[in-house]
Amino acid sequence: MSETTINVQDLNLTRKDFVPGNEVRWCPGCGDYSVLANMQKTLPVMGVKKENYAFISGIGCSSRFPYYMDTYGFHSIHGRAPAIASGVKLANPDLAVWIITGDGDGFSIGGNHMIHALRRNIDMNIMLFNNRIYGLTKGQYSPTSQLGMKTKSSPFGSIDRPFNPSAIALGANATFIARALDVDAKGLQESIKRSQRHKGASFIEVYQNCIIFNDGEFGALENKATRPDNALFVVHGEPMIFGKEQDKGIIMKDNHPKVVTLGGDWTEQDLLVHDETNPIITNLLLEMTFDPKNPTPFGVLRAVDAPTYDGMLVDQIKEVTKINGKGTLEDLFYSGDVWEVK
């Protein structure tokens, strides 16, 4: 990471340092509040100076986020945050750059920028608030809305097949993919920390409830009581276990993930073990997302090392300068055939 990390004690930052004076204007009960609070809680312990954070967003409810962070912030135009943030990071690699986007902003109008930012592996953090609806424009279906969903622009049910943002991130060869739930503080904080520490483009998909236009979209996941039986929190190197009693696990059967109950025929040894670095495992987890027979996976789904674009740019500048010498205007101007008029 080109961002310099500093001893957390020396920085002496608290949550308050990241809270500006202005009023937060999301709908009461919106899932965005929890994400904001957890971001403000986590950043002080990252070892990054406050002035080195930059939050860049596009358009949508979640894209108001930078106004609610007392950091440098840029609320830009629809879909373009990853491209703007790329320029910010390349201009100043010392900055810890966060992109805040939504399912419409990041995967509809801005889909192209999203996949290329991930592919290039620019060291930035992309947080996608996936509420599977257009909130700011008051309730049209989004590219992640489920088939059949009735919205203002799909009164007879949506006939637009949705896609799975984290699977697209994997397809774009992202080096870090995590998924978290708006109401799960622990999972959010863990994702934010790991993402900020990751060298390269990080992608966090947050399942976020839009209480106004798509309340209950994440059903059993949102509820503390029913969540354990429906969510699988994966940990690198550990078997895939879930359930209120921690009694269920995932095995591989006929090339498909399958839920089994521990005790009886199955032991921990039979279960699949999570491996952040193995794209086959990540893909398998992502395939479980829409499968009602399987729990929905959360946690760090993928984390691999790869050279970053920003790092390679800095290195290339150094390398070429070493070989050719520091360029001067004189060298440049006289690089063609020169003649003199006396």
Partner 1 sequence: MAKKVISINEATIRFAGDSGDGMQLTGTRFTEATAIVGNDLKTIPNYPSEIRAPLGTLAGVSAFQLMFGSQRVFTPGDLPDTLVAMNPAALKVHLKDLKKGGTILANANAFTDKNLKMATWETNPLTDGSLDGYTVYSMEMSKLVGKALENSDLTSKGIERTKNMFALGVLFWMYNRPIEPTEEWLRKKFAKNPSIAEANITAMKTGFNYGETTEIFTTSYAVEKADLPKGKYRNITGNVAVAYGLVAAAEKAGKELFLGSYPITPASEILHTLSGLRNHGVKTFQAEDEIAGIASAIGASYAGDLAVTTTSGPGMALKTEAIGLAIITELPLVIVNVQRGGPSTGMPTKMEQSDLLQAVHGRNSDAQIPVIAAQDPADCFDCAFEAARVAMKYMTPVILLTDGYLGQGSGPWKIPDPKKLPKIEVHHPDSSARGEDGFMPYARDENETRPWAIPGTPGLEHRIGGLEKENITGMVSQDPENHQLMTDIRARKVENITKDIPPSEIHGDTKGKVLVLGWGSTHGAIHVAVDRARNKGQSVSQMHLRWVSPFPSDLKAICDNFDEILIPEVNSGQLAMLLKAELIRPIHQLNKVRGEPFRAFEIEEKINEILG
Q: At what angle do helices 81-91 and 111-120 cross, to 10 degrees?
A: 30
Residue number, 33 or 74, with CB nearest to ligand SF4: 33
DSSP 3-state of 144: coil
Burial per residue of 151-176, b for 16 or more beta-carbon CB atoms within 10 angstroms, e otherwise: beebeeebeeebebbbbbbbebebbb
Torsion of CA 294, 280, 222, 209, to 10 degrees: -130
112 binding partner 1? (CB under 8 A):
yes
Assess 13 for contact with partner 1 (CB under 8 A): no
Query: Is 156 among the residues that bind partner 1 (CB under 8 A)?
Result: no
User: In the structure encoding, which two tokens stand for residue 49, read together?
Assistant: 């100076």
Q: Does 50 bind partner 1 (CB under 8 A)?
A: yes
CB 66 to partner 1: min, Å: 5
Give me the amino acid identity at 76. S
Taking CB within 5 to 8 Å according to partner kind, which of ligand SF4, partner 1, none is near residue 315? none
Residue in 15, 41, 75, 193 binding partner 1, rule: CB under 8 A: 75
Residue 299 lies near partner 1 (rule: CB under 8 A): no
Task: Select the binding partner of residue 131 from partner 1, ligand SF4, none (C-beta < 5 to 8 A, by kind).
Answer: ligand SF4
According to CB under 8 A, which one of 2, 5, 92, 289 is a site residue for partner 1?
92
Cα torsion angle, 161, 162, 167, 168, sign: positive
Cβ closest to ligand SF4, residue 23 vs residue 51: 23
Identified binder of partner 1 from the candidate list 77, 211, 212, 260, rule CB under 8 A: 77
What is the per-residue binding string for partner 1 in 115-154, x denoting contact by CB under 8 A? Answer: -x--------------------------------------
Structure tokens at 175: 């080096």
Both structure tokens of 106: 């990041």
List beta partners, residue 300.
178
Tokens of 271: 């279960």
Asked if 165 and 18 touch (Cβ cutoff 8 Å), the reply is: no
By CB under 8 A, name the one of 60, 66, 162, 187 that touches partner 1. Answer: 66
Q: How far is the CB of 74 from partner 1 (least distance, A)?
A: 6
What letter represents residue 198's amino acid?
A: H
Structure token pair of residue 22 = 């202005």
Beta-sheet pairing, 231-234 with 176-181: unpaired
Identity of the residue, 70 or 247, whose beta carbon is nearer to partner 1 in the bound complex:
70
Residue 278 Cβ, how far from partner 1 at the closest point, in Å? 28
Phi and psi at 92, nearest 5°, equal -140, 90
d(CA 338, CA 111): 48
Residue from the set 5, 52, 164, 189 that interacts with partner 1 by CB under 8 A: 52
Please give the structure tokens belonging to residue 185: 């503080």
Which one, of 214, 215, 211, 193, lies nearest residue 202 by Cα?
Answer: 193
**Least distance (Å) between residue 136 CB and ligand SF4:** 6
The stretch among 53-61, 200-208, 215-223, 233-241 that binds partner 1 (CB under 8 A) is 53-61
User: Under rule CB under 8 A, how many of the chain's residues touch partner 1?
Assistant: 58
Dist CA 202 CA 312 (whole Å): 17
Single out the residue of 95, 126, 178, 201 in contact with partner 1 (rule: CB under 8 A): 95
Residues that bind ligand SF4 (CB under 6 A): 26-27, 30, 32, 61, 131, 135, 210-213
Alpha helices (H) along 206-308 = 219-222, 279-288
Give yes or no for residue 23 binding partner 1 (CB under 8 A).
Answer: no
**Binding range to partner 1, per CB under 8 A, among 49-57, 153-161, 191-199, 237-245:** 49-57
| Contact criterion met (CB below 8 Å) for 68 and 107 | no
- How far is 56 from 303, CA to CA, in rounded Å? 23
- Report the interface residues with partner 1, using CB under 8 A: 22, 49-52, 54, 56, 59, 66-67, 70-77, 80, 83-92, 94-95, 112-113, 116, 313, 316-317, 319-321, 323-330, 332-334, 336-342
